Homo-oligomer: A and B are copies of this chain.
Amino acid sequence: MARQREFDEDKVLDAIRDVFWEHGYEGTSYANIMAATGLQKGSLYAAFGDKRALYQKAIARYDAQIVSGAVKMLRNENLSPHIRIKNLMNGPVEAAGTREGRKGCLLCNAAIDQAASDKETENSVTLSINRLKDAIRFAVNDAAKAEHILAAYFGARVLVKAGMGKSTLEIIRNQTLLSL
């Protein structure tokens, strides 16, 4: 009945997710998004809405892809609790020092730079964090330990952003495993 889209919506949303992931909400301009997606403003607005909506979609996508991946792993009973937490804490270890890794965790980034000032972001971030926390609790079967592991995980992500090296992150991972 009408002209069809020329772009691959999944690829475009991935690109949008990546831009916000790396530069944050305020740090990302339309020029960045247009460059990353190859689309013009008009198409972006027509397809996804305004900047805030794009940011929300980026977070939702991160949740559906990255957080869900972690949750699935943490709930995999074929793996020992120890190995599941080790896998979780290996994320920051592998991220340390690399360009890609220093994008950090979008959840953590959004919490710091938007959650306190934007209710909608606060809601999405809270939901995702709780999903992750529940999965950790499922893995370690201890609510208090789960909170502590979650904190260590986010702290590790902050330290990677700050530029700390792999060896520091390995220590944090190992120390986290000792608490199990």
Q: Which of A120-174 contact B (CB under 8 A)?
A: 122, 125-126, 129, 143-145, 147-148, 150-159, 161-164, 168, 171-172, 174
Instruction: Report which of B27, B151, B174 forms a contact with A152, defined as CB distance below 8 A.
Output: B151
Which B residues are CB-close (under 8 A) to A164? 126, 129
- State whether the Cβ of A113 lies closer than 8 Å to any Cβ in chain B: yes
| Contact status B159-A151, CB under 8 Å | yes
| Contact status A104-B129, CB under 8 Å | no
Q: Which of A129, A158, A163, A164 has the most CB of B within 10 A?
A: A158
- State whether the Cβ of A43 lies closer than 8 Å to any Cβ in chain B: no
Which B residues are CB-close (under 8 A) to A143? 171
Q: Is the interface of A mostly helix, strand, loop or mixed?
A: helix
- State whether the Cβ of A76 lies closer than 8 Å to any Cβ in chain B: no
| Contact status B113-A162, CB under 8 Å | no
Instruction: Report which of B27, B103, B112, B125 forms a contact with A108, defined as CB distance below 8 A.
Output: B112
| Contact status A126-B162, CB under 8 Å | yes
Chain B nearest CB, measured from A73 CB (Å): 19
Which B residues are CB-close (under 8 A) to A153? 155
Which B residues are CB-close (under 8 A) to A144? 171, 174-175
- State whether the Cβ of A90 lies closer than 8 Å to any Cβ in chain B: no
| Contact status A163-B27, CB under 8 Å | no
Which B residues are CB-close (under 8 A) to A161? 111-112, 115-116
| Contact status A147-B125, CB under 8 Å | no
Q: Give the docked Cα–Cα distance between A104 and B115 (Å).
A: 11
Instruction: Report which of B116, B126, B175 forms a contact with A145, defined as CB distance below 8 A.
Output: B175
